[in-house]
Structure 1
Amino acid sequence: MKNSDSFQRFLFEDVGIRGELVRLDASWQAVLQRHPYPANVSRHLGQALAAVVLLSGTIKFKGALIVQIQSQGPLYTLVAQATHRQTIRGIAHWRDPVPEGSLREVFGEGRLVLTLQNDGTEPYQGVVALEGKSLASALESYFSNSEQLATRLWLFADGQRAAGLFLQVLPAQIRAEDDWTRLVTLAETITEHEMLHLPFEDVLYRLYHEEKVRVFEAEPVVFRCTCSRQRIEAMLLALGKAEVEDILEEKGRIEVDCDFCNKRYQFDRVDIGALFSDEIKSAPSSTRH
């Protein structure tokens, strides 16, 4: 299918408004293959993954952008991550049954957290209450309250694909209010079927054939988990030798499963002995000469 696993920027140059499109196919299927989600859970996770790709496209960074929902309701954890290399991963945790309905009905009382992990700098977090009818409306509220940028999102997902459309006023741009209203009104006519199945050029023609639109080259999106044995070793070192040895004593070995990709990492007594031996060898000496 054309535009499979693709992200594409476009720009209304004359009115200072930018847009983006994303469609996830194999990358979305890779997420679903690792966890058997109920339909209502997978729909929200797919929308979140589409959203995080769209939002990452507005930022110049090297690292990861994470959209996370923590709540007390049936769907109580949702995490979607995109990197500057357009790789994605995501996870959700829930209690049955997960109802249809508004964010409050699905998630209960909670909060929406956006975290930017930019290599070489401290992470930045923005937090807002989880309010609105949909994830799209909650994210729009975040941008309205935190960034003071008019922003709209349309997010869709089913068992095969996830897709999204994004519009935002460019910072420090002078524009007419009726330009924004016109472009948003046209976008409101898009259907789920069109977003999930039509090529991007057909979507843009369908919505904006009477507008002057500059379209940039599409970029590929792939599923990729960033877990590694080295990261797990760092976690074990952070726990400390005494606690790790207590776990070994109780269970005979240490097993750590990655929530995102289901990969299992195993450590026996020899592995742990070598790990903490290497830590001692690499520790700086306190002796002065």
Structure 2
Amino acid sequence: MSELHTFLFDGLPVRGMIVRLDSAWQEILARRAGNTQTGAYPAPVAELLGEMTAAAALMQSNIKFKGSLILQIFGDGPVKLAVAEAQPDLGLRCTASVQGEVEADAHLPELVNVGNKGRCAITLDPKERLPGQQPYQGVVPLFGDQGEKLHKLSDVLQHYMLQSEQLDTTLVLAADSQVAAGLLIQRLPLAGQANIAGSSQRAEEDHIGLNEDYNRIAVLAASLTREELLTLDVETILRRLFWEEKLLRFEPRAGLLAPRFSCTCSRERVSNMLRTLGQAEAQSILDERGQIEVGCDFCGQQYRFDPVDTAQIFTEPGEQMPGSQVVQ
């Protein structure tokens, strides 16, 4: 059962989230494996995508954004682009473009960042944009402050959050063929937080890396192993890590509210894409193949347009379609 849990550390400026995707993640992998044009992902690519999907769910829930959160990794390795998207209702989807051989023991540098020019982008696309409003996007490199390659997605995202939010963040991510999971711990700003009202902590502790409570909890969180994150249930993980801390738990996102696979593709969206492509280009495809076929990289759905379908796309409302007759 896929689920997401949120919690606060009582009296401390620290919050946490843990997500566990099983049915949702298995459906994503099954759809990819069932796509005759692409086939299943190599294991290292599936692991990276699983971590990205878990991270996207955590970040979407963390910021409570009314729109889609899109996490992208791109570079010069065999994985040219990997994308994970999370909607406000925790509808999730992901895909990757793979070219060339993937070594069985490949990690982030070998998959995406061979020449140390890879990038990570996080885009926030509002559901209802105001006139002239553009999506917000932040981009960070796949290397650290000294130019060293980062070997884990969690390190890249922690670096991003430090730069974008100026808040200490700890992430633990893991995925295999059955489960994608993640744990997020983040320091809250001291000022204005009701759960630490009356605290005598110094203002300096609101600076990055200086809050002792967060640092202690971050060390505990970082001790969680990949195997534990993938195999233990949420209650066991929280008890094993934070048994000495008092947690304030919120209602989990489970059951009907659980994270799940969801694709936003549609025939209408594909039609709009073809309209952007242009009538001349669409006609050239029809002349060559007899129909236009577009597959969704996320869910595998195939959309086919014959000459009549294509003509309708480029016919303005109220305009008579070429070759048609009005029956009196």
Q: What is the TM-score when the length of structure 1 is the normalising length?
A: 0.91
Q: Equivalent of 2:13, from 13, 16, 24? A: 16
Question: Which residue of the partner structure matches residue 105 of structure 2?
Answer: 100
SS of corresponding position for 2:63: coil
Q: Equivalent of 1:52, from 53, 56, 72? A: 56
Deviations 1:220-259 (A, max 9, x none): 0110111000100111111222222222122211100001
Q: Equivalent of 1:201, from 235, 244, 250? A: 235
CA contact (8 A) 1:99 1:106 kept: no
CA distance in 2, matches of 1:24, 1:217: 17
Q: CA RMSD in A?
A: 1.8
SS of corresponding position for 1:255: strand
More strand as a share of residues = 1
SS of corresponding position for 1:232: helix
Equivalences for residues 104-183 of structure 1 within 5 A: 104-108=109-113, 109-121=117-129, 122-131=134-143, 132-173=150-191, 177-183=211-217
Q: Following TM superposition, by how much is the alpha carbon of 1:101 offset from its aligned partner in structure 2, in angstroms?
A: 5.0
CA distance in 1, matches of 2:107, 2:266: 37
CA distance in 1, matches of 2:279, 2:88: 35
Question: Which residue of the partner structure matches residue 312 of structure 2?
Answer: 274
CA distance in 1, matches of 2:83, 2:123: 11
SS of corresponding position for 2:287: helix
Unpaired runs of 5+ residues, structure 2, are 33-39, 144-149, 192-202, 321-328
Q: Following TM superposition, by how much is the alpha carbon of 1:75 offset from its aligned partner in structure 2, in angstroms?
A: 2.2
CA contact (8 A) 2:67 2:126 kept: yes
Question: Which residue of the partner structure matches residue 30 of structure 2?
Answer: 33
Equivalent AA in structure 2 for residue 135 of structure 1: L
Question: Which residue of the partner structure matches residue 224 of structure 2?
Answer: 190
CA distance in 1, matches of 2:274, 2:190: 47
Deviations 1:193-232 (A, max 9, x none): 3222222122111111211211111110110111000100
Equivalent AA in structure 1 for residue 10 of structure 2: E
CA contact (8 A) 2:4 2:17 kept: yes
CA distance in 1, matches of 2:291, 2:48: 36
CA distance in 1, matches of 2:122, 2:160: 9
Q: How many percent of aligned residue pairs carry the same amino acid?
A: 42
Q: Following TM superposition, by how much is the alpha carbon of 1:279 offset from its aligned partner in structure 2, in angstroms?
A: 4.5
CA contact (8 A) 1:99 1:105 kept: no
CA contact (8 A) 2:120 2:141 kept: yes
Q: Following TM superposition, by how much is the alpha carbon of 1:146 offset from its aligned partner in structure 2, in angstroms?
A: 2.2
CA distance in 1, matches of 2:108, 2:245: 34
CA distance in 2, matches of 1:238, 1:101: 38
Question: Which residue of the partner structure matches residue 264 of structure 1?
Answer: 302
Equivalences for residues 241-252 of structure 1 within 5 A: 241-252=279-290
CA distance in 1, matches of 2:310, 2:107: 47
CA distance in 2, matches of 1:231, 1:247: 19
Question: Which residue of the partner structure matches residue 5 of structure 1?
Answer: 2
Moved runs in structure 1, 4+ residues, more than 3 A?
171-176, 278-282
Deviations 1:3-42 (A, max 9, x none): x211111111311111000011111111111220111111
Q: Following TM superposition, by how much is the alpha carbon of 1:171 offset from its aligned partner in structure 2, in angstroms?
A: 3.4
CA distance in 1, matches of 2:97, 2:298: 11
Q: Following TM superposition, by how much is the alpha carbon of 1:116 offset from its aligned partner in structure 2, in angstroms?
A: 0.6
